[in-house]
Each structure stands twice: as structure tokens, then as C-alpha cells.
Structure 1
Amino acid sequence: MLGRDTAAAYRGLIADVAGRLSERFAAVERPWTGPAPADLAPAVAAVDLDRPLRSFEAAFDEVGELYLDDAVWFHHPRYLAHLNCPVALPAVAAEAVLAAVNTSVDTWDQSAGGTLIERRLVEWTAERIGLGPDADGVFTSGGTQSNLQALLLARDEAVERALLKHEGDVPLRGVEVLPRLRVFASPHSHFSVVKAARLLGLGEDAVITVPADDWFRMHPAALDAALETCREQGLIPAAVVATAGTTDFGSVDPLGPIGEIAAAHGVWLHVDAAYGCGLLVSAEHRGLLKGIERADSVTVDYHKAFFQPVSSSALLVRDRAALRHVTHHADYLNPAEGAVPNQVDKSLQTTRRFDALKLWLTLRTLGPDAIGSMFDRVCDLADRAWDWIASDPRFEVAAPPSQLSTVLFRLAGADDEGHRKAREALAASGEGMVAATRVEGRIALKLTLLNPETALGDIVRVLEALARHGKTAREES
């Protein structure tokens, strides 16, 4: 166990692991080796977890064979697949600190300074958004949890309002209100919105899809009409979810007009900025977030656009009073008469890692301008990649240029199976990695750019390989 008597052993262990990992990072030549599950499963299944190995070194060697040899390296410049970022070195150092000290940021008597650091970062983020003096928030495990908590708050606020407005002779119960609640989101909002509706007892059908424009952004006029229809049907609009950075298209909904409409209808506005939160520190593209200050709640994922290790997300709210909906007092933990700040009072979690330390050390070492510059770099690179693809007859663009850092395209003349084979062959070859989705019912390939070290030349190399693999797939079919 780590403690006073094992401090020297800890130093040696961490130095050994750091040395081994640094050698691997220095030697990485491709983002992935491309194995199938069947290639790796037998070796993992064969491990007898009831019989430990002779030493940590032997155990680490085994992990090297089972995991590191075939790990996906997000820092590689030709990893262009999902919303995974390379991580800032100060944040990696912070991981070592928070893992060793093992702070749980739920109550003051478990975290002390950790509580204050997290609160200061929440305050700083809320200031960047423009939420006002009553804002608050809490770090979470990721965008899915942040969105879930936001919609929980919106749900309970809507129920409270409905109960207060009820004028019937028979008292109305909250459980009777739930079937009437509706959530409004674009067809390109994150899947966690529908998932949250299901978990919150509203059901998937409670999410009303608001049409989007040709740039995959929620249409404000359509939102206004949908809210009117909702009320005419005797239903209750509980929340509008706007997206600042859709996963597939990098689209930012028109937050200003949406905010005005939500306010006019008296509906909670949640902005899912898990992807687009990098715009908060952007010198070039901050204007895309105009109107976000009208939100009642905002999701940010520092482990995307702030280059932090997983996990590092937060939920911010305009009015800290809304967080009462997740507060529960336990005598052994956070009694109601307690006078110290307890982060568990505003979180869905109890035991919770001190993930805020990673962002703190990154900001104090690099500063927000450097982070914003890196995010601007990947957004600008996406524009250049889109132009290159649009000019090459072997490809066709599948969507307009992204507002952030994704590029959707197809291999000219390839069907869905051809795209699948080309993508799989690319990954298996180690030449690069791209993602795939569907646009208007057809498969499209996707570049997701979150590595400021990636250059256009790296992208072109991946595209050339895709074209070659696509040609092979056509010849073999």
C-alpha cells in the first residue's frame, strides 16, 4: 500500500512505469494495429486471476502484451476517428497526483483544498460562458452524465411549476405530470438526450425532434412551432436542448435565437457544448457561442476540446438553487446542519475523483490562450481538409464544411460495403484511422480532428490509403 513506509518503493515504481511508457510513446509508428476481438480475446480469457504473477514487472509485461501492444494511440497524427484528444502533459502529471493521494471530492473533510479548486474552476468556466453571479456547477464523468443531470434538473423544475399552477379541486401529484413532459432537440443532438429521457421516466417518445437546416443546425422557427403545438396538446415543455458541436457534423445550433424562443415559452434551455466548449477559449471562433449565456445549464467536456485525460467534464447551471434537486443529506456524510461546502450536495455521484486538478494544472502551466489556439488549429485544419477532398475526383464531400473540426466524405462510386471494407483495411494496415456514420441513409466516412499536431500531410496520407483500399475492395467485389 502507498504510504510513508512505501514512499521509496512508490518512487521507483512510478519511475519504472514512466520509463516504459515513454519508450512506447517514442516508438509509436501507427495509431493502431487493427486486431479483431477474436484476435485478443483468447489471451485475456486464459489469464488466471486467482494466481498472481511473481512481481509487478511481470504483471506489467503481461499488460503490455494484452493491452499496450494493441492500444489505440490518440496522440498519433493519423488517428482521425472519434472525439478523442491527445492529452496535455500537465494534466498527465496531475493524474499521477490525484491517483496517489486518492482524494474523493464529495465532502470537505475528504478533499479540503480539492473542493476549493473544483469550485474555482466551475466559477471560471461559468464566467467564460457568461452565466451570471448565481451560477454554479460540478465536475462529472462525461457529457452523458452532464446531460442526464441537466435534464433531471429541468424535469424537476417543470414538475414544480406544474404543481404550483394547478388549480383543480383534486391535488396533482408529480408522478401524474411526468407523462406530459416533453424535451425538444434536433435530430443531430447527442444520443444521451434520448437515453436520459428514458432513465428519467419520461420515455424516449418524450423527446420531440425539431427539424434542422441544411447545415444540420436546429431550425428556430420549427422549435417555436413545436413548442406552440406542445402546449396546444395540453403537454408541458420541460427543456430545449441546443447543441454546440454535434458529434457527426460539428454543427453549432443558433444559440441566440433558440435562447430567445426558450425564454419566451418559459422553458429550460440546456446547451450541450461537450464538443464545442473549446470555443470558450478560442480567439478565432468564440462568436459561434453567441447566445450561450442565455442557457439554464451547459455541458462542457474538458476531455475533448481542452485536451484533458478522460474523465473530465462538468455541468454548469445559471441558478445554483436548481442543484437542490440532486441534494440529499446523510447524517454520516453531509448532515443538513453542516456549515462547510460539500460537493456531494450538487452531484449525482458520491465518491468522485479529483479530476479538476488536471484542468487546474493545465491552465496554470499553459494558460487558456494556448488551449484555445490548439482548438483553433484543428478547426482551421478541418476547413483545409474539406477543400482538399472537394477538389479530388476520387472523393466526394458528404456534408458542408464543419463549424468545428469534423469532415464528412465518401469514396466516389463506393457503396456502403465498399466504405466498410476500405475503413477496416485502413485500420488493419496501421496507416490511419477514420470513423463512419450515416448521412441521409448512406454511409459516410468521417475525419474527427482533435490533434493540434496533425498536419494536412498526415490527412492526405490517410486519404490516399483509403482511396487505394477502396479501389482494392471494388476490384475484389
Structure 2
Amino acid sequence: MPNHFTGWFLDGSDISVNSYNHNTTLANQSLLQHVANLEQVYSGMSPAQLATQIAELEPCPEQGVELSTVIQEVEQHILQNSIKVSAPLCIAHLHCPPLIPSVIAETFISATNQSLDSWDQSPAATLLEQHIINWLGNIFGYDNQADGVFTSGGTLSNLMGLLLARNHATKKHFNIDVWQQGIPAEAHQFRVLCSEEAHFSVQQSLALIGMGTNAVIPVTTDEHKRIAISALDAALEHCKQNHLIPIAIVGTAGSTNFGSIDPLQELAKRTQQHDLWLHVDAAYGGAFILSDKYCHLLQGIELADSITVDFHKQFYQSISCGAFLIKDSSYFNLIRLHAEYLNPETDQINDIPNLVTKSLQTTKRFDALKLFMSLRNLGRKVFAGMIESTVLLAQQIAAEIEQDTQLQLAIKPTLNTLLFRYIGDNLLTDSELDIVNEKICQKILMDGIANIGKTRLYSCSYLKFTLLNPNTKIDDLRKILNILKHYAFEEITF
């Protein structure tokens, strides 16, 4: 009896191979068409228009549609209305253009479908991930006691760091194993200190692990938007006077808005003096470890108990791809669980590496392959050169904004992100300028010219350039500055 399901899976049969070759060719043609014109960053379709169009697509018809037709539909409705992340003027967020080796690796990852929870589901993949983790620990200054695991990104990595910090503190202060016994009532005294510019996932993490967002003590920053050490000392003294228990300090190595890097060595001194956990969120700035010119900005990161690093930012990897690193591998025991059907304790005795023992995810993608192929292909010097070029670009355009009487720079950039706003002839109030800046930001996107960011600073609306793309040139930025000034003039005049 013939198998009616032959050809639906890439199983080596002639029919599956022919279908794969034919349809990947169509898909590649659609993709190349998508990136053929990077002058237009977005189609300009409004959310309502796009929702109406997509609603017409039946997700699961009674009878299936030819794959070639589905690919055409994706091209028409999805690709044509997607942000072009490789466009030089796609500069709104920490959202990078992916490297070609990363894109090619995605094919291997999807087709082989390795599951990095147990070794018997991903033999070579498990060992390559561990190999890359060992390399990462080394470049960040850890010794051979270190360990880590790939994650979906910074939010999950920060969650893991704060989860381990909480479990470690509970064991230290109350001799309670949270993983077995739960959170004691006394843990309501726990506090985590971080910069007021720290990523929102610090608060989110503490909410998820039962401490609540009120357990975060945001510390004021200095003129460079780094955590102010005097304010940190005052916050630690406040904890002491009010019978609160600080358990961790989170250092930020690359804040989302400013690219600011906290004084990591000073933070390490405080954590050593007060016996606290030091977690460094280097999701944005971690890539600077590859640069001989800028790696000094991360001095002290090797003293952290745990580190977050993202690769779908300045390592130019396709989403999602991140890692969580830990200075002492034994801390993973604080979240270790065993299941007989997946990672029995006998596997650990027999040195079978099941990565699920140190992860909050069970099924996990082989994202390490993307980073491996990219690093092998480009090498450190090319990676460093790309990152350094974007910092130079940020410095150049910041200097020009400072000289433009119609624009106002927030502060000089530390890395490759900068905030500024249109002020015109200084005849409008701040609230009026807020409306103008928000409208020109939206119009630039809907006209397909650029994707620039916006945020709030000093109670005002600011525009944001996040210059991750090494193919963005100074003339591209000059062009967008001229356009936004023209749009602002029209908005004010009419």
C-alpha cells in the first residue's frame, strides 16, 4: 500500500528532494527580491491595512494549498510588508542585519532539527555548543571552572542570572533550598540593585521568580548614564538601615538607550565587600570584547558571577541567539533536575552531557551553529572592524548633530547608539516639540525612508539612532537628518 505522506518530509526520497530543491529555489528568489531594493525600509502599510490583508489568509484550509502558492503568498503579504533589517537606514533598535553564514546555518538547524536538551537527541550539536561556551568563557576572562548555556536572548539570560542569585542567597542566609522547599517568607527582604538605565528584564525577572518588581532598587546614574557609585553606596546603606537584604548587583554593559557601561570594577568591589552576586548584562556591549580598541570598556567583567551576552545584536546573528555564562559551574546545581526519561543521574555519572541540566528550556535550538559558522568565516579581526566602524560613525554623526542649531544631542555616545531631538528655532514648547518629533518619526517609517527609534528622556521625546549596521554610511545619516528636518518644518508650518 503506497504511503500517502511521502514527500512531505525531507527524507531523502526522490519526491522529497525534488520538492525541497524546487521550493527552496522559489523561496530564495522571493528573499532576494525582498533585499533587492534597500532604499525602501518598509512598505508603508498601516497596522489596520496589514491586519485586514493578513486576515484574508486562511491558516488551515480543509484542503491544502500548493507550497509554491504559499511561498507566493508569503512574498506578497509578509515579505513585502517586513522591515528590511539589512537596509542602511534601519536604525531604530538593537536589531541587526544577519550575516550570510548565520542565514545558511539556519538551513542546517531547521532541517536537522536537533534538540539540545539531551545528548542522544543532538550528539555533535551538544558538544559544539559546549565548545563555543568554553571559548566564550575564555574570552570574557573566566577560568576552566566556568560554564554556560545558549539561550533565546538577553531576557532569558538575565532571568537565569537573577534566579541563581536568589537561590544562592536563600541557601546562604536561610539554609533553604528554594528548588526543593520553595521561597521562605523572609525572602521578602531581598533586594537587587541596578542602574536606573538597566534593561526592563531585571524587573520582569524578579516578578517571575516571586520577588516582585518592588525588590528592584534603581540607582541613579552619573552624567555618562552609568550607575553612580556614591548613589550605589547610599542604596546599600539604606538596605542596612531598613533591615533589607541586598543579594545582587546588576551591572549594565551597554544600556539600550545610551550604550553606557557601568564601572564594572567598582561594582565588583562592592559585591566582594558585601558578599553579593554580581550579574553583568552585556547583551548589547558584550561584542566589544572582540575589539582590541574597545575591550577595555569591559574591564572587570571577568569578576562577575554571571554574564548575559547576545549574538543577535552586535555579533550579527539571526534571531534568536544568546548565551548565559557563569563563573563557577557548580552554581548550576541550584537549578538542576533529573528526569529518568531524559537526563537520568546515571548519565551524569557516565559523563554524558545533557544540556537540560543547566537550562530553563527543555527543547532548545542548535543556535550555537550560527555563531560558530560566522566566527569561523569572518574571524575576530573582521568582527572587530565592523563593530569599531559603527562606533566611529556614531561619533561622527553626533559631532554633526551638535553643530546643527535645529537639533539637540542628548549626550555624546559611548558605543554606537545616540539620542537627539529636533528643536527647530527654539520657538516651540517641549510638549509641542514632543508632538513634532513623534510625528516625524512615524512619517519617516510610513514613507519607507527609514526606521528610527524614539524614547523619553528628561520628560521629553527624543529620536534614536542605533547604528549596528556596518554598511550604514555618514551620507545615509546626513540624508535622514535633512529629511526629518524638512518633515518637521512641514509639520510646524502646516
TM-score, normalised to structure 2's length?
0.93
Map Cα deviations across residues 180-239 of structure 1 (whole Å, 9 max, x no partner): 110001110000000111111001110001111011100122212212321332221111
Distance between the aligned counterparts of 1:84 and 1:73, measured in 2? 10
The within-5 A match list for 1:453-468 is 453-468=471-486
- CA shift, 1:475, in A, is 1.4
Q: Which residue of 2 aligns with 1:411?
A: 422
Q: Which amino acid aligns with 1:209?
A: P
- CA shift, 1:364, in A, is 1.0
Q: Which residue of 2 aligns with 1:201?
A: 210
Q: Are residues 1:127 and 2:109 paired?
A: no
Q: What secondary structure is seen at the aligned counterpart in 1 of 2:280?
A: strand
Q: Which residue of 2 aligns with 1:82?
A: 93
Note if contact 2:38-2:88 (Cα within 8 Å) is conserved in structure 1: no
Map Cα deviations across residues 154-187 of structure 1 (whole Å, 9 max, x no partner): 000000001249xxxxxx9842232111000111
| Aligned mate of 1:93, from 94, 100, 104 | 104
Q: Which residue of 1 aligns with 2:30?
A: 20
Q: Which amino acid aligns with 1:273?
A: A
| Aligned mate of 2:228, from 198, 219, 227 | 219
Distance between the aligned counterparts of 1:261 and 1:67, measured in 2? 50
Q: Which amino acid aligns with 2:262?
A: D
Distance between the aligned counterparts of 1:247 and 1:50, measured in 2? 39
Q: Which amino acid aligns with 1:454?
A: T
Note if contact 1:163-1:174 (Cα within 8 Å) is conserved in structure 2: no
| Aligned mate of 2:57, from 43, 47, 58 | 47
Distance between the aligned counterparts of 1:96 and 1:418, measured in 2? 44
Distance between the aligned counterparts of 2:344 and 2:367, measured in 1? 25
Note if contact 2:456-2:462 (Cα within 8 Å) is conserved in structure 1: yes
RMSD, matched Cα: 1.4
- Find runs of 4+ consecutive structure 1 residues off by over 4 angstroms: none
Q: Are residues 1:258 and 2:283 paired?
A: no
- CA shift, 1:428, in A, is 1.4
Equivalent residues, number: 469
- CA shift, 1:54, in A, is 3.3
Note if contact 2:26-2:71 (Cα within 8 Å) is conserved in structure 1: no
Q: Which residue of 1 aligns with 2:376?
A: 364
Structure 1 unaligned residues grouped into runs of 5+: 166-171
The within-5 A match list for 1:306-317 is 306-317=315-326
Map Cα deviations across residues 239-296 of structure 1 (whole Å, 9 max, x no partner): 1000000000110001111111111110000000000011110121111001111100
Q: Which residue of 2 aligns with 1:430?
A: 448
Q: What secondary structure is seen at the aligned counterpart in 1 of 2:96?
A: coil
- CA shift, 1:53, in A, is 5.2
TM-score, normalised to structure 1's length?
0.96
| Aligned mate of 1:4, from 3, 8, 12 | 12
Note if contact 1:385-1:407 (Cα within 8 Å) is conserved in structure 2: no
Q: Which residue of 2 aligns with 1:277?
A: 286
Q: Which amino acid aligns with 1:278?
A: A
| Aligned mate of 2:361, from 344, 349, 353 | 349
Note if contact 1:142-1:301 (Cα within 8 Å) is conserved in structure 2: yes
- CA shift, 1:101, in A, is 0.4
Distance between the aligned counterparts of 2:57 and 2:317, measured in 1? 32
Map Cα deviations across residues 55-76 of structure 1 (whole Å, 9 max, x no partner): 1111111112221111101100
Map Cα deviations across residues 346-386 of structure 1 (whole Å, 9 max, x no partner): 00000000000000001111112211111111111100010
The within-5 A match list for 1:7-406 is 7-51=17-61, 52=63, 54-164=65-175, 174-338=183-347, 339=350, 340-398=352-410, 400-406=411-417
Identity of aligned residues (%): 38
Note if contact 1:95-1:358 (Cα within 8 Å) is conserved in structure 2: yes
Q: What secondary structure is seen at the aligned counterpart in 1 of 2:192?
A: strand
Q: Which residue of 2 aligns with 1:168?
A: none
Q: Which amino acid aligns with 1:397?
A: L
Distance between the aligned counterparts of 1:283 and 1:112, measured in 2? 35
Q: Which amino acid aligns with 2:12?
A: R
Q: Which amino acid aligns with 1:33?
A: S
Note if contact 2:195-2:226 (Cα within 8 Å) is conserved in structure 1: yes
